[in-house]
Amino acid sequence: MAESSTAPLTLSTGTLAAWFATPLGRYLLEREQAYFDRTLADIFGFHALQIGLPEYPLLRGSRMTTRLTVDLEEPAQVLADPHWLPFAENGVDLIVLPHVLEFTDQPHQLLREVHRVIRPEGQLIIAGFNPFSLFGVKRYFGREQTMPWTGNFIALYRLKDWLSLLGFEVAGGRLDCYVPPFGQEKWLQRFHFFEKSGDRWWPIAGGVYFLRATKRVLGMRVITPAWSRRVRKKALASAARQVRECADVRE
């Protein structure tokens, strides 16, 4: 089927945001926010975008000067269809996709648009539900027709293939949230020990995964700052001088 370039596509982020206010959603959100806080603090640049879930400030740990949320509706700061972003090519340093790909009918188009606006060597971080987990089991066998169980959970290996075809290089990631997807907080706390044992005994079965990727451009040469080149040249000269001194001593 041909892809339309005019009609906006449906993202069910509003309903998903409401689910994140439930006991299970709050439990998951706390762990995801901790991951984003740790990871974003070490990514530098000027412009960062969070696409989807504008109700939750997942970019709060970033040090970038411009941090914007993008979605179809408020409270997003930029009201736009994420499949057709209103930004120039190669102008964004960081994009975060929190559970967006599972709830769009054209994930490939969204990723292509993300690739277009990210600068070379820019970073993309994706949070997704893992179909090979207890969350995936609940979605497959459950009868609930509510968020997030109505989403199309994307396997991690498939997402890696999509990113590779676009020109992204996976730079890291992890799985998290090994507890069974209980709806009551007391049961979530009672099974909290699954988090430590899950990392050790079934590391591929976390309820959610985080994937960090870098945009690579073939044939591109990264030009380092002038001060960096001077430091490197000085270090090389010092090393060469030490080699000559060692040769003189041996003679």
Residues 46/84, Cβ–Cβ less than 8 Å? no
Asked, for residue 2, whether it belongs to a domain, the answer is: no
Where in the sequence is the domain holding 192, given as residue range(s)?
Answer: 13-220
Find the DSSP H helices in the chain: 13-19, 23-40, 107-117, 134-141, 156-166, 185-190, 194-201, 226-250
Q: How many domains does the chain have?
A: 2
Distance, CA of 75 to CA of 105 (rounded, Å): 23
Asked, for residue 79, whether it belongs to a domain, the answer is: yes
- Please tell me whether residues 212 and 231 are part of one structural domain: no
Asked, for residue 8, whether it belongs to a domain, the answer is: no
Distance, CA of 20 to CA of 152 (rounded, Å): 17
Q: Greater confidence, 142 or 81?
A: 81
pTM for this predicted structure: 0.79
- Please tell me whether residues 130 and 242 are part of one structural domain: no
Give the pair of three-digit tokens for residue 23: 């006991």
Q: Tell me the per-residue pLDDT of 93-141, one tens digit each, with 9 for 90 and over.
A: 999 999 999 999 999 999 999 999 999 999 999 999 999 999 999 988 8
- Please tell me whether residues 161 and 234 are part of one structural domain: no
Q: Greater confidence, 59 or 199?
A: 59
Asked, for residue 4, whether it belongs to a domain, the answer is: no
- Please tell me whether residues 42 and 150 are part of one structural domain: yes
Identify the CA nearest to 123 among candidates 199, 216, 200: 216
Residues 61/36, Cβ–Cβ less than 8 Å? yes
- Please tell me whether residues 195 and 228 are part of one structural domain: no
- Please tell me whether residues 129 and 61 are part of one structural domain: yes
- Please tell me whether residues 190 and 127 are part of one structural domain: yes
Least confident of 71-85, 88-102, 229-243: 229-243
* Alpha-carbon distance values, 180 to 27, 36, 138, 149, 198 (Å): 11, 22, 9, 14, 11
Alpha-carbon torsion 138, 140, 143, 145, what sign? positive
Give the pair of three-digit tokens for residue 199: 């990392």
- Please tell me whether residues 214 and 246 are part of one structural domain: no
Least confident of 29-33, 82-86, 246-250: 246-250
- Please tell me whether residues 215 and 227 are part of one structural domain: no
Give the residue carrying structure tokens 């069910």: 12
Task: Concatenate the DSSP letters of all residues of 68-89 into one string.
Answer: EEEESSTT-SEES-TTS-SS-T
Asked, for residue 21, whether it belongs to a domain, the answer is: yes
Q: Which CATH number does the domain housing residue 21 bear?
A: 3.40.50.150
- Please tell me whether residues 127 and 199 are part of one structural domain: yes
- What integer pLDDT is reported at residue 226 of this predicted model? 57
- Please tell me whether residues 240 and 118 are part of one structural domain: no
Average pLDDT over residues 151-158: 95
